[in-house]
Amino acid sequence: MEENTNWGQSVTGIVIRQGKVLLARHTYGTGKGKLIVPGGYVKIGETPQDALKREFLEETGIVVEPKEIIAIRFNSHDWYIAFRAEYISGEAVSDHDENDEVLWMETGEALLRDDVPDLTKKLIQCALSESVGLVPLPYQGNPKNGKGYLYGIN
């Protein structure tokens, strides 16, 4: 168990390329055997954007660039930010740890399959939406805790 992991903060990205979404077949927990969008926990001192890039590269071999925030899931225990993410480079490969398969699937098929959980389907629908989502907005924040990020409706 990593001591520098912030267990209350996690991220995911929905990458759609040529009509296909990147999914990974999870190997543990309640998602075991399910095709989900890749992601994971934010390390202490890491931004959600950097966590997303790291998690995608570690889990799938794909380099991504986070774009708009398209969904946020939270409760009294933790939060989970979903970005629309742009494919930059790489070949989809399993990490053979957290997942045993990484693949590109037609978005329409993913929305119909029983092995794709409801949350993943909702996030794919958000990514497919014509709505822009929350976009990065420049602002002058207090630099005490490093560069700050503001996402909002533009």
- pTM to 2 decimal places: 0.91
Q: Which residues pair with 144 in a beta bridge?
A: none
* Region label for 130, one of left (φ > 0), alpha (ψ between -120 and 50) or beta (otherwise): alpha
Residue by residue, pLDDT tens for the chain (154 residues) are 568 999 999 999 999 999 999 999 999 998 999 999 999 999 999 999 999 999 999 999 999 999 999 999 988 889 999 999 999 999 999 999 999 999 999 999 999 999 999 999 999 999 999 888 899 998 888 888 788 889 998 8
What residue has token string 């398209």?
A: 70
Under 8 Å CB-to-CB from 20, ≥6 apart: which residues? 104, 105, 106, 107
